[in-house]
Amino acid sequence: MGLYVAPGSSGFAEIVNSDYVDMTGMIALVNQTVETTNKLTCVSRPRRFGKSYAAKMLCAYYDSSCDSHALFDDKEIAKTPDYEKHLNQYNVIYLDITGFISSAQIEGTSLKEVPNMIVKAVCDELNETYLRISPFNDIDEALTASVEATGGKRFVFIIDEWDAMIREAKNDPEAQKRYFNLLRGLFKNANLTPKVVAAAYMTGILPIKKDGSQSAISDFKEYSVLYPGKFAKYTGFVESDVINLCRNNDMSFEEVRAWYDGYDFSGSGAVYNPYSVMRAMEERSCRSYWKETSAAESLKTYINMDLEGMQEVISRLITGEEIEVDVSDFRNDFETFGSKDDVITLLIHLGYLTFNNKTHTARIPNEEVRSEFRGILKGKGVNHKWLELIKRSQKLLNDTLAGNADNVAAAIDEIRKENYAPQFYNNEQSLRSIIKFAYIAAYDSYVKIEELASGKGLADIVMLPKRGSELPALVIELKWNKSAEGAISQIKDKSYPVILKDFGGEILLVGVNYDAKSGKHSCVIEKI
C-alpha cells in the first residue's frame, strides 16, 4: 500500500475506531456513477465538514489492495444491492492537494512545480506497485500499463481539496494553468479517460468557476453547498445522529442543537457541523470550536468590506434576520467581489452562513457561528462603522437598564432613520427588526427569544441574562400606531412575565410604540 496509489483502508479504520457516525450511505450515490457517463463528481463543502473523512471512506471501499468487509459489513452501505459489486474492486489513486502544496512550500519550491510533483509521486508508486519490470515516467503511459497489468482494472480517483491550488496560487496563473492541464489530461482526454478512469470524486471548498478558466474539469457533475442535491443528507450530521451522540456521551441535546444546528439543505432536515459536534462530545462542553480552524482567519476581512452597506447586512444577520441574496453572479473565488451578494455567497461556501435555495435567503445558522461574528466585531482591526454601532447599541442597553425611556426612544428613532427608508418601515415586523438591530450589543450577555408563549399569549421579545449574570430580564412588547403605555398594559394583562416566575432576579417591562404620523418612537420602562 502506498500514500497515493492503493492507499488501503487504514485511514478509514482509524475513523471507525473512534466515535463514528455512519455516513457510508453516501457511497451508494457514488456507486451509481461508477463506469457511467456521469462518473466524475465534484462535491464542495466548508472546512471541517468531513470532506477528508469521506475521501478516506471511499478509498477504503473501492481499493482492491485490501479487504474492507470488516469495516463496512455492519454499516448502511452493506444494505444496498451493489455493495459487493464495487467493494474492493478497483485500483485507487488518492491525492490530497494540500499535502503537495505544503511539501513545495517546505522545500522552497515554486507552486508551478506542484503538478510535476504529483505526476512524479503517482508514477513512482504505480511503477513500484504494478510496473516493476517496465517503469514509466509519463503518467498516461503508467496508468494505461497499470490497467493492463491488473487485468483491465480501472482507477477510482479520489482528490481531496482539489481547489487548494486555486486558492494558494491565486496570483500565479502559470501554476494554475499547469495544474488544470494535469486535470484535463486525466479527466478530459478522449484517448485516456475512458480506458483508465472508472470514477472520480473530488472535494473542495469552492465550486468550479463559471468563466471557462477551469474548463479542464467542466465535465464534473457538481454538488455545492448551495445546491447539494442528493448529497445533502451527507453534508453533515442529521438530527438522529446527534441525538444518539448526546445520549452516548451524556450531553444535553437541546444545548448541542442550539450551538451547532441550523444548516439548511432542502430535503435533509436539520444538519449539524460535524467537526464541532464531535469536539463538543470529546470535551463535554458546548462552545465555539470554529475559531480553532483556519476558516476563522479570513472572516474579519470579508465582514469589514462595505460593498453596498455590507456592515448593515451583517448586523441584521447577527440579530437573527434572514437576508435575500443573489448567488448567481459569484465568481467562485476568494478575491473577485462585485457586490455584497458576492461576499455573502462566499460566507455561505465557508460555512458562516446557511442558504435556503427555495427562498434564496441566507442566515447565520447557530450560536457557534454567531459568537464568531460577535467576537470579531469586538476585536482589533474592526471597521469604524462597526465600532460606532456597538458603542451606540451599548449605550441604548445601558439606558434601558437604567430606565431612561426617553433616551431609548430617541436612540431607536436615530437607528431607524439610518437603516430604513420610510416606505419600508411600515408595520410591526419592521419595528421588531429595528429593535433587534438596536440591541445588538446585548447579544453577548442575553439570550433573545421571540414570540415566547407565556401567560395568555405570546410575548414579542424576551431577553434572558446568560448563566451567572446578575442583569435583569427584559420583556419587550411592540406596538404600531398605538401607545407604549398600552404595550406595558398588555404585558401585565396577559401575564407575560409568568414564564419568568423562577428567574429569581429583576424583570424590566419595556413597551415601545411607533407613531407613523409623527415618525417617532415612544418608550415606557417599568421594573417588577
One DSSP character per residue, 28-65 reads: HHHHTTTTSTT-EEEEE--TTSSHHHHHHHHHHHHBTT
Domain boundary residue among 346, 378, 410?
A: 378
| Structural domain that includes position 400 | 384-527
pLDDT the model gives residue 177: 92
- Cell readout for 187 is 479527466
41 and 186 share a domain? Answer: yes
Q: What is d(CA 443, CA 374) in angstroms, rounded to the nearest whole number?
A: 8
User: What is residue 357's predicted lDDT score, i.e. its pLDDT?
Assistant: 86
**Residue 215: which of 173, 183, 170 has the closest Cα?**
183
pLDDT at 306: 63
Burial class (CB in 10 A: 0-12, 13-18, 19+), 358: exposed
Q: Report the number of secondary-structure helices (H) and strands (E) in the chain.
A: 22, 16
Do residues 349 and 393 share a domain? no
Q: Which amino acid is at 472?
A: P
Give the whole-angstrom CA distance, residue 2 versus residue 476: 64
The conformation of residue 98, written as its DSSP 8-state character, comes to: H
Q: Is residue 43 part of a domain?
A: yes
pTM of the prediction?
0.82
Distance of CA 2 to the CA centre of its chain: 32
Euclidean distance between CA atoms 72 and 221, whole angstroms:
26
In a shared domain, residues 359 and 453:
no
Residues 86, 117: one domain? Answer: yes
Residue 40, domain CATH: 3.40.50.300
Q: Which three cell numbers stand for residue 507?
A: 424583570
Whether residue 93 is contained in a domain is answered as yes
The CATH number given to whatever domain includes residue 389 is: 3.40.1350
Residue-wise pLDDT tens for the chain (528 aa)? 689 999 999 999 999 998 889 999 999 999 999 999 999 999 999 888 889 999 999 999 999 999 999 999 999 999 999 999 999 999 999 999 999 999 999 999 999 999 999 999 999 999 999 887 777 889 999 999 999 999 999 999 999 999 999 888 888 999 999 999 999 999 999 999 999 999 999 999 988 876 677 777 889 999 999 999 999 889 889 899 999 999 999 999 999 998 998 887 766 778 898 999 999 999 999 988 876 555 455 677 777 776 667 777 887 888 788 889 999 888 877 777 888 888 899 999 988 999 998 889 999 999 888 888 877 766 666 666 667 777 888 898 999 999 999 999 999 888 887 766 555 666 777 788 788 878 888 877 888 888 888 889 988 999 999 877 889 999 999 999 999 999 999 999 999 989 888 888 899 999 999 998 898 999 999 998
**CA-CA-CA-CA torsion for 115, 118, 120, 123, nearest 10 degrees?**
-130
The rounded distance, in Å, linking the Cα atoms of 78 and 221 is 25
CB–CB of 281/253 below 8 Å?
no
Separation of alpha carbons 1 and 129, rounded Å: 8
Final residue belonging to a domain, choices 378, 402, 421: 378
In a domain, residue 174? The reply is yes
Q: Are residues 350 and 414 in the same domain?
A: no
In a domain, 229, yes or no: no
Per the CB < 8 A criterion, the answer to whether 143 and 127 are in contact is: no
Same domain, 310 and 414: no
The three cell numbers of residue 404 are: 431612561
Beta strand segments in 191-282, E: 197-204, 221-223, 237-238, 263-265, 269-272
Closest CA to 367 of 452, 251, 302, 277: 277
B/e letters for 460-471, b = 16+ CB within 10 Å, e = fewer, are bbbbbbeeeeeb
Q: Are residues 181 and 301 in the same domain?
A: no
* Cβ atoms within 10 Å of 270's Cβ, excluding its own: 18
Predicted local distance difference test score (pLDDT) of residue 371: 83
Residue pair 465/452 in contact (Cβ under 8 Å)? The answer is: no
Q: Show the beta-strand stretches assigned E in 364-402.
A: none
Instruction: Count up the domains in the chain and report the number.
Output: 3
pLDDT for position 267: 67
Pair (407, 351) in one structural domain: no
Same domain flag for 187 and 100: yes
The per-residue pLDDT for 292 is 59
Measure CA 322 to chain center. 16
What residues are paired with 524 via a beta bridge? 511
Kindly state whether residues 142 and 258 are assigned to the same domain: no
CB atoms within 10 A of CB 81: 8
Residue 1 covered by a domain: no
Tell me, yes or no, whether 420 and 495 share the same domain. Answer: yes
Asked if the structure places residue 3 within a domain, the reply is no
232 within domain boundaries: no
Q: Are 466 and 474 in contact (CB under 8 A)?
A: no
Tell whether 419 and 324 lie within a shared domain: no
**Does some domain include residue 410?**
yes
Last residue of a domain, one of 319, 347, 378: 378
